Structure 1
């Protein structure tokens, strides 16, 4: 077996994330496939490159040596691809490559951008990891990234990226079954959910750490299930779990969405880009249309609109 750039990229991803699961997600492959690939690489070299344990994967001394040679090669290849794509883009015409974590504002943002920027090739890439999107912007694989930063869990923003704050503190609401006892009140006290099973997606940067901090501060230790939020919805509607959700989450007949008292869970919404790449006017337009799309999504949702009114939000004034 001859080592290829994709093998070196896999080794770097495992070292950077410290986890086969996270590295597989970053590389867009399954964990079993990455595990098999690593085993073949180690068999070809005749030695282990990583030690596996409960705390994750750590490079062995030989692994550190291999990584020291692999990283410059991977970086050079990424640079070659990026520069080639950039040259092709300049030849083909204007384009805007957008990255985003999950947001109800995305559809409206894309619609507005296509209206404001006719003739521009606009593409969208979504990822649960805000940090992965920021790395893609820094590597010129994306032009802008709309991400959320969980309060108390700062993102690892690469040097040189410019950040624009869309919402300084967006409260996270709670979703529960329509017939949950706490759903009878317009605002829910987090201690009323102490006996419920909470669901959280640990692959979303900062999500689990932020929730754990808030639960501990409230003095409760409910059972927690790690799963994606699509799975969470099916369990929430039958009363098997509750979960944090974005305040722009639309009303559902089978689910209640309520704000938490004193808003203990919150995120900051950011738009990030490279400051020296494209004309500033393009990013000004991207930000302005994102703000308008987010405002539309916010006021369309009754519970969030009432929250904004109670707090005198500048979002409403801007609208």
Structure 2
């Protein structure tokens, strides 16, 4: 048997109590169980640690030697644990907020608000097109929060390991060049875009399948879909090469208008995720509130989204 800290604590408790019966009570053990444990410890150390008598127990020379070392080791270990906890708390405070997100305006807005609310803490970001990659990094404690999205009611990644809360849900809009024949419409039927090429940012969720299904319900199959980065999507729309799919909070951009699809056939849920057993859990309520405020501000800046919200029966999900 290897000697452990709990064995040293047992030896110290017996010496302090002066009897096995009192020590057993203090340790919450039955006296026979403590006697058996003491015999195992004595075998591991090579000799008796206490002399038993009618008046109780007293340490043998070997017992005095072990007790002297235990009275040094046990406080040192306790101090180490307390210092480690203080160090961890201080390091976490200095570390600040590590955010992971897919490309979009909400991540930048959240960084801005966190930096303003906590000017003494660092805010760092990691971006990826893959919601699964970001969620996995949060689950492995390499990131503190994930700000991602899912199509419709689909489950977010790492759902069993992370806590997910909805920031908001948006209808999916279309981006059109200002010269497009439908640019002035209040709403656009998806079927009216049957002859268009499309552009969208990539992802590893089900959005592509949901879009294809929505087109099928509208009576057509999209002729082509360009999956590329946001800047390239905007360019393809600006030059009239394609119409784009975007969240309703997409910020105004020169040469482009965004318009809702009639009946909101597609919608997007913005989600914030964190691990429930890391220190991020303590600040999750604040981060979620800030993310929701960022979304509300983005929605208010979009004239087309504000106009859609004012329509009778406007709703998603």
Separation in structure 2 between the aligned mates of residue 312 and residue 89 of structure 1, nearest angstrom = 50
**Which one has a bigger Cα radius of gyration?**
2
TM-score (norm 1): 0.65
1:100 touches 1:147 (CA, 8 Å); kept in 2? yes
Change (3 A) 1:202 1:296: closer
Contact 1:201 1:207 in 2 (8 A): no
Q: Which residue of 1 aligns with 2:254?
A: 253
Residue in structure 2 matched with residue 282 of structure 1 by the alignment: 283
Distance in 2 between residues matched to 1:186 and 1:91, nearest whole Å: 49
CA displacement at 1:131 relative to structure 2: 1.3
1:215 offset after TM fit, Å?
A: 1.0
Partner residue of 1:21?
none
The answer to whether the 8 Å contact 2:197/2:223 transfers is: yes
| Matched residue, 2:186 | 186
Q: Which residue of 1 aligns with 2:237?
A: 236
Listed as ranges, the gaps of 5+ residues in structure 1 are: 1-85, 315-319
* Aligned length in residues: 228
In structure 2, do the counterparts of structure 1 residues 311 and 287 end up closer, same or farther at CA, with 3 Å as the change threshold?
farther
Deviations 1:153-198 (A, max 9, x none): 433324221111111x310100112111111211111111001112
Secondary structure, counterpart of 1:111 in structure 2 = helix
**Alpha carbons 2:96, 2:123 under 8 Å: kept:** yes
**1:95-110 mapped onto 2 (5 Å cutoff):** 95-110=96-111
Judged with a 3 Å threshold, the aligned counterparts in structure 2 of structure 1 residues 247 and 279 are, in CA distance, closer, same or farther, namely closer
Show structure 2 runs of 5+ residues with no match: 1-86
In structure 2, how many angstroms separate the alpha carbons of the residues matched to 1:223 and 1:164?
A: 36
1:164/1:272 contact within 8 Å kept: yes
1:159 aligned counterpart, secondary structure: coil
Q: Residues of 2 paired with 1:181 and 1:101: CA distance?
A: 32
Alpha-carbon deviation of 1:253? 3.5
* Matches of 1:93 and 1:101, distance apart in 2: 25
TM-score by length of 2: 0.66
Query: Any conservation in 2 of the 1:202–1:226 contact (CA below 8 Å)?
Result: no
* Structure 1 position 141, deviation (Å): 0.8
Deviates more, 1:200-209 or 1:210-219: 200-209
Distance 1:188 1:313 in 2: 14
Structure 1 pair 177–134 and aligned structure 2 pair: CA distance change class (3 A): same
Report if the CA contact (8 A) 1:153-1:210 is conserved.
no
- Aligned mates of 1:281, 1:92 — CA distance in 2: 12
Q: Shift of the alpha carbon at 1:89?
A: 7.7
Task: Report the equivalent of 1:226.
Answer: 226
